[in-house]
Amino acid sequence: MEIGIVGLGKMGKSIACNLSDHGHVAHGFDTNPDMRAATEAEGIATYDSMADLVASLPTPRVLWVMVPCGEPTEVCMAQALELLDPEDVLIDAGNSFYRDSMRHAQAAAEKGVRFLDAGTSGGMSGARNGACVMTGGDRSAYDYVEPLLKDLVVEGGLLYTGPAGSGHFMKMVHNGIEYGMMQAIGEGLEIMHKSEFDYDLEAVAHNWNHGSVIRGWLMELMEQQLGAHPNLEDIKGVVAANGEAKWTVETALEMEVPVPTIALALMVRNASQEDDSFTCKAVSALRNGFGGHEIVSVDPK
């Protein structure tokens, strides 16, 4: 199957390479020429405009958009709907707000374009080697691209979630849970770090990731980051809060569902812009580990 990918950053390029490894033909576009060059170095054709990318695809076209949520996604959706024809498939695989995806699906339907919202998890390594994808939207579009999606994910990592918006709703909640899990790991390690005992925190994370109830990928990443940054001393405890946890909390309030863990994790991230803590150092390190998010280094002075 041939697919066009808009957005060749940390996730988009990795997805293009993953699909290429599985025998699909990926074409790419990014406004950044450096991103295009890096993707071309992987043997994937890129184009200087979205129009050229769309023109390169056989019909019905499949266009995968993976750009930051908000204005970049709005611009891409509008441009794509100007270029695509009825029966083409438009996939928003970024972290868009689910109500925006419902609106985009309606705009696509008015043009006869089939829309899917694909929440994508697994970070950069997942995008490259096997992701988790939760997909809502037009069922006929899903059935058409399902062989491609099955090649993109790990076994068991693909779910059709229902109507448009449901994929991004599920990813929104997933990221809210992620906030709480990372916060708990960070808080636990801070207690260990400040205790009267001289723990090797890298060894602690290694131990916890072998047979314990709290073992998992985040703990594996924590061990790796503690190895690369002993006691996280060179990392500043500044952690950005992207939209998903905020949307999760706001949606939970609308639904009158209590989410104290997610809400407090969000508040701590906001507070990290002013206060430094070992907990936030750990969360910052984890975000860098799975998503390549920037670490703020401690001033050597």
Residues assigned a catalytic role: 171, 178
| Phi/psi-derived region of residue 70, left when phi > 0, alpha when psi is between -120 and 50, beta in every other case | left
Burial status of residue 114 (CB atoms within 10 A of its CB: 0-12, 13-18, 19 or more): buried
DSSP structure class, residue 2: E
Q: Is the peptide bond before 60 cis (omega within 30 degrees of 0)?
A: yes
Q: Give one DSSP letter per residue of 116-181, joined into a string.
A: EEEEEESHHHHHHH-EEEEEEE-HHHHHHHHHHHHHHEEEEEEEEEESTTHHHHHHHHHHHHHHHH
Whose structure tokens read 């491609």? 148
- Please list the residues that pair with 115 across neighbouring strands: 90
